[in-house]
Structure 1
């Protein structure tokens, strides 16, 4: 049986030196030994002065920066097909530079033990290695890198001198001052005074369980609410909100504003299940603050009208434009813009509630679905939303629905005012079909699952891509639990969902030409959403749901989780993750350029490089669709 992963590796390597000098049999043999490595942005591949690894590296997707430790100057950037980390192995010396993932990257690790005999046999490979030593570059055949490994090229200079401050890791205090739960308030005050700190971390079995700040001492002790003989657990804030130590300035500001807190506890993995490694105060952030998303978030929360939110939205688009120009990793950009979008929606809802004649009759949840639900809505695309409200007696149902429909209309109108178009299919909370009680939603979604026609598949699938922007999360959780329960009791649903994921038209024709629209308003344009983005989004959804994973909505995140769950398909899933980000980034750039949704692309306006980058994703799309077709036996369904 053929090893499809090694075949895929060989197909890639044969296009780049020195592997293009190998015989097919040699390359196939070597590819079997290659290890696929996934690196998140800013993670280290190897460190300066580290002993050489037993393999060197080829960039499959993404980019790796090479630099001297302690210097902000990037000496070289290796991208697709570039070789690096080879010279120290052959010279038997330590690494002279630090290699770090410049963006999310997939690497092929080539074992030197398997490669070296081939280099001795093959004169062309030997010449490549000689030139590598002579030119100080990992790939002398790469024109843009040739001879520049220890100099500053134009790109390196641009990136090293024009970084966006708020996306750099935030500096935090590593000198933690801690106490036990049973420590008295007097002891705590003495410790804080002695160390001149504004907070103290409360730990239990070396794990963080609470935090006490100056504010707690003022409000809870100085006012006489609690005596100084009470214990820490009496006045501590708990449970605490924790974040991973790799937090950026922008993320830390937004985290504090989102939760209305003045201190963040940083742990090894961002949860309370690992020891604390540092603490970050609002003062720390103010020291480092510059012009960043937190300013926009603060303005959003203070906005009193939809028109004011619209002007702030322009600022968000300017921020997005700047991030793309700086080539900031799209995963981080998406998180920041999504936070700002959610904050805008939340403020719109609060303003709409304030204008209602009375308080909501029951608890409710506002769901943002589609691209916003997946955290992928970067441009001003159309709305997809719904309301779930608590069950009421039959005689009060229509009266209750009438209230929430009126609320939904006001919210949808204001969202349109700030820049989010109305949904062409009317999938909005202002539509009675999308404003239902919890019991009604359960019945509707159960019907969709057990009667999966094309329309039902489309409607049910969007309920797997939602985020709770406002209201009671338990309502959404209960509905989600019901949907998954029905889906698991009716496994054939996943086959229908898979069939729906294969309905979008192919992005390319027989000769790999772009398939464009044949008629209508967008004749001769390429539909980036329908032909490229949706197939890869739909595939991620059905695959992750088949594993009963319901906590990940983002497309790239779903593929990364799938890579963990199915190691045999790891390379394909990581390629899909990369492709989903590349396509979203491409659409965003096009949308900002033409001041539209970026959906329809005029191919004659693209340069050759842009067309090549787009076509690279088409192969990945076809591969993931083939996997779905086989796994879910879609052909049998169509017979």
Structure 2
């Protein structure tokens, strides 16, 4: 006879982490051991400093308030599906908080002695235990938990088993051939005419040798062998052949083993059968698909924006693959940012070719905002600026006209390859974002000396600039000027810190997500405004206060701050973790819904995703408290 109560328990638990990671048999066994508790409003579950129970708890219905003993301030609210009381069981210590029913509540008490063996068997469950242990600490990024937390970025799960050595490879069947007696001059002409890198030497219908571009360079171009000699003189022979059913991994291994760049495929894999195809190292690289090196090479070879747009589709596929395989988000952002920068650089090179003349003076193309920070993983809008060398006053407007025309070409092609135009026109094609070095010093100095709301907003965008193309010395000199002004007018940092606190808290009373109240995204959670921007803005003002340049990435800024301020190391490392976790979350949501990932429909998130997202909110609150105190924002006269 079935135990209907345990069935109901199992049916409930399977919807929430970590129980959703258990198989049905494990869940049924565990559910048989669960104790159901009923708590009246205000009833105590456990008190502060009480020895840990033999169970941890899951809220079935109602809510549990967590407080410090003797305090009326509620530190947290656990509602349906939330787990609490787990950390003391793992740490073998007394309860740090008091748990009290906030309303009439039904709890499931899960015995740790029955649950722990399941955690040891199941990696996902074990990770949840570690995350839960860390969630009540300031720093889930600590050495103790590193590599075991969502988005921490230090380990990757095993790759998806799409086994490469079972993947067939396409090869060229359009063979270009010659005989042993063909003169080198004639075969070279045939190779050039057909735009191929090798030619097969045939005798009696069978392959006997191969001649590659490398043979022509090493043996003919050096003068070692006259071009009137026959093919037999320079061909590589005997040949190494393989069957046509060659797989990708086998092709890679064969090329590495024999140190060759071309494989000859025959009907049966032997030299005694007719050749049916030819495989080059380039073919293997293309077959590998979304390989960063292949994409980077393709970007550099692209001759127009339409080709670059196709390549960027490959970059997005690469990004999706990395996320599917749980590659560390720090590494992912570096690779994708490099490919983004390479795409922008190639657009600039192609645009320069369209200009009627060379640039009149050295210049620097600055990418701003998320791309400047190396955090633009999705195709969002473009923010950029041009900085050009100083010229005499009577040449300034003519010089600016040249760079505005160049910027217009660049901006158009960036839009073609997938970067939308900036709605606020913060682009180099706008005269307000195209200045000489002297002018940029004046502009940024004015922002710092007279910081109003607009100046703070512009500073927040501009001060994350990255040099994508051009003269680095111009940008370095501008950075020095910015830091000099910031030191002369320390009140600017207070205003910048005030701006960083303008973004509302991610959560409201009792941990509820604060959602948009009206407009197109009503009832959606603004991940960028309420979670990412507070972390990003705080990092910017803190790193600027230390006069550190050339570190734009938010996570890297916090890691540098942890070095500079050992007393705040734990908090800064937590911020680094949170910034990467949020970036990964936004990227996944953006790829899933084919948008920027900014607005999240909470109803479409499962409980586990909500828990992971909420885990970063405590860190956001703490870093905002730090900058409020450090920069005396409360004393700011608005």
TM-score in same-fold range (> 0.5) = yes
Distance in 2 (CA, whole Å) between partners of 1:439 and 1:327 is 46
Q: Which residue of 2 aligns with 1:246?
A: none
Shift in Å, 1:13: 11
Taking a change above 3 Å as real, the CA distance of residues 625 and 483 of structure 1, as seen in their structure-2 partners, is same
Q: Any idea what SS the aligned residue of 1:106 has?
A: coil
Q: Which residue of 2 aligns with 1:176?
A: none
Shift in Å, 1:552: 1.0
Shift in Å, 1:445: 0.6
Shift in Å, 1:80: 5.1
Q: Which residue of 2 aligns with 1:5?
A: none
| 1:357 lines up with 2:356 in the alignment | yes
The superposition leaves residues 610-630 of structure 1 with CA deviations (integer Å, 9 ceiling, x where unpaired) of 111111111111111011101
Taking a change above 3 Å as real, the CA distance of residues 156 and 586 of structure 1, as seen in their structure-2 partners, is closer
Q: Which residue of 1 aligns with 2:43?
A: none
Q: Which residue of 2 aligns with 1:328?
A: 327
Distance in 2 (CA, whole Å) between partners of 1:617 and 1:297 is 34
Distance in 1 (CA, whole Å) between partners of 2:160 and 2:393 is 65
| 1:82 lines up with 2:130 in the alignment | yes
Residue pair 1:367, 1:387 contacting (<8 A) in 2 also: yes
The superposition leaves residues 290-329 of structure 1 with CA deviations (integer Å, 9 ceiling, x where unpaired) of 5411111111111111111001000000000000000000
The superposition leaves residues 46-85 of structure 1 with CA deviations (integer Å, 9 ceiling, x where unpaired) of xxxxxxxxxxxxxxxxxxx999xxxxxx9899535439xx
Q: Which residue of 2 aligns with 1:525?
A: 524
Cα RMSD between the aligned structures?
Answer: 3.5
Taking a change above 3 Å as real, the CA distance of residues 606 and 14 of structure 1, as seen in their structure-2 partners, is closer
Q: Which residue of 2 aligns with 1:584?
A: 583
| 1:107 lines up with 2:106 in the alignment | no
Distance in 1 (CA, whole Å) between partners of 2:157 and 2:583 is 27
Q: Which residue of 2 aligns with 1:302?
A: 301
The TM-score normalised by the length of structure 1 is 0.59
Shift in Å, 1:469: 0.6
Shift in Å, 1:25: 8.1
Shift in Å, 1:547: 1.5
Residue pair 1:562, 1:573 contacting (<8 A) in 2 also: yes
Match of 1:22 among 93, 97, 103: 93
Distance in 2 (CA, whole Å) between partners of 1:157 and 1:463 is 37
List gaps (5 residues or longer) in structure 1. 1-10, 28-64, 68-73, 84-103, 110-138, 140-154, 166-217, 224-282
Distance in 1 (CA, whole Å) between partners of 2:609 and 2:581 is 11
Taking a change above 3 Å as real, the CA distance of residues 635 and 395 of structure 1, as seen in their structure-2 partners, is same
Taking a change above 3 Å as real, the CA distance of residues 524 and 363 of structure 1, as seen in their structure-2 partners, is same
Q: Which residue of 1 aligns with 2:563?
A: 564
What are the within-5 Å matches in structure 2 for residues 146-165 of structure 1?
Answer: 159=159, 161=161
Residue pair 1:77, 1:156 contacting (<8 A) in 2 also: no
Q: Which residue of 2 aligns with 1:432?
A: 431
Q: Any idea what SS the aligned residue of 1:353 has?
A: helix
Larger RCO (CA within 8 A; separation ≥ 6): 2
What are the within-5 Å matches in structure 2 for residues 8-47 of structure 1?
Answer: 15-19=86-90, 22-24=93-95
| 1:541 lines up with 2:589 in the alignment | no
What are the within-5 Å matches in structure 2 for residues 190-205 of structure 1?
Answer: none
Taking a change above 3 Å as real, the CA distance of residues 451 and 163 of structure 1, as seen in their structure-2 partners, is farther
List gaps (5 residues or longer) in structure 2. 1-75, 77-82, 99-118, 132-139, 149-154, 166-217, 224-280
Taking a change above 3 Å as real, the CA distance of residues 82 and 599 of structure 1, as seen in their structure-2 partners, is closer
Residue pair 1:386, 1:435 contacting (<8 A) in 2 also: yes
Q: Which residue of 2 aligns with 1:458?
A: 457
Q: How many residues align?
A: 408
Distance in 1 (CA, whole Å) between partners of 2:530 and 2:97 is 38
What are the within-5 Å matches in structure 2 for residues 587-626 of structure 1?
Answer: 587-626=586-625
Q: Any idea what SS the aligned residue of 2:379 has?
A: coil
Distance in 1 (CA, whole Å) between partners of 2:421 and 2:402 is 21
Distance in 2 (CA, whole Å) between partners of 1:22 and 1:560 is 31
Residue pair 1:331, 1:581 contacting (<8 A) in 2 also: yes
The superposition leaves residues 571-609 of structure 1 with CA deviations (integer Å, 9 ceiling, x where unpaired) of 211111111001101110111111111111111111111
Distance in 2 (CA, whole Å) between partners of 1:108 and 1:333 is 23
Shift in Å, 1:520: 1.2
Larger Rg: 2
Residue pair 1:13, 1:19 contacting (<8 A) in 2 also: no
Q: Which residue of 1 aligns with 2:483?
A: 484
Taking a change above 3 Å as real, the CA distance of residues 514 and 394 of structure 1, as seen in their structure-2 partners, is same
The superposition leaves residues 219-247 of structure 1 with CA deviations (integer Å, 9 ceiling, x where unpaired) of xxx99xxxxxxxxxxxxxxxxxxxxxxxx
The TM-score normalised by the length of structure 2 is 0.59
Residue pair 1:76, 1:156 contacting (<8 A) in 2 also: no
Q: Which residue of 2 aligns with 1:180?
A: none
Q: Any idea what SS the aligned residue of 1:79 has?
A: helix
Distance in 2 (CA, whole Å) between partners of 1:627 and 1:312 is 43
Q: Any idea what SS the aligned residue of 2:356 has?
A: coil
Q: Which residue of 2 aligns with 1:510?
A: 509
